[in-house]
Amino acid sequence: MARISTAELERRLELARSHREEEPAFFRCLLDAKVYAHAPASDDHSRLRLLQFRHPDGFHAVPFFTSIEKARPPTGIAAKIIPLLGRQFLELTRGATVMLNPNDGGCVLYPEEVDALLKTGAVARIEKIHLANDFSFLVSDQTKPPSWLMSCLMGLYSQLSFVQVAYLLEVAPSHAPAERTLLIVLGVAPEHAERAVRASITEIQPFCAHNDVALDITTFDPAKETPAYLRQRGVERFFGPPLK
């Protein structure tokens, strides 16, 4: 396969930022393009070790870059620039969160997304919806979740120590009670909320597409009061420690 140039990779990245439908093409390019990472300047370890940083949202990430110019270490950082193929970089950092071009707004990939990209050549597409403050919904008291959905999610959350509890609801907008959809609600600390949601979508999106199932995911901070809607009839608490 022909090597993807820096110019083509950055062109694809800009397209993906402005046109979501271009994201799959960008990630395919990323695997075969040369990228750049930081290693300690004076590291004589027998294995390659890469630097990471603490993201403002609280998690640690391994940075990598689309060009050697973007990879220039900031003043005061003792690092050397290591060129790698995208696939090679992702294999080396498997299990870590990575961030592309962190100084330019970047692109975060969580471990579950890296695994999916290496296995399938694609990353699940995620759409964030911001609801109005006065939005309300109805909770059905006869939820009938597909069996495959529950087994997938329970297996995933048993591996994600930061997911404390998970609920399933069947809901509909108050103004359209016939338009029902499934809603997953996760109890997870705010610094892990985005990863929990994206890991969930990565795990179940192929099955949802195959079975024509639509669902939404939201989170709440379990250190605070449990949302009132989770105490209604029809809410299934399917993951978490036994209730006392």
Go through the domains of the chain in sequence order and give each one's CATH number. Answer: 6-120 (3.40.1350), 137-239 (3.30.300)
* Residue found by looking up tokens 């397209």 in the block: 15
**Inter-CA distances, 18 with 12, 24, 35, 92, Å:** 10, 13, 22, 29
Q: Residue 1: is its pLDDT beyond 90?
A: no
DSSP-assigned states of every residue in 51-88 = --EE-TTS-EEEEEESSTTTTPPPTT--EEEEEEEHHH
Mean of per-residue pLDDT scores for the chain: 87
Query: How high is the pLDDT of residue 71?
Result: 94
Structural tokens at position 202: 């990565």
Lowest average pLDDT, out of 33-42, 78-87, 153-162, 172-181, goes to 172-181
**What is the phi/psi pair of residue 94, to 5°?**
-55, 135
Model pTM?
Answer: 0.85
Q: Residue 242: is its pLDDT beyond 70?
A: no
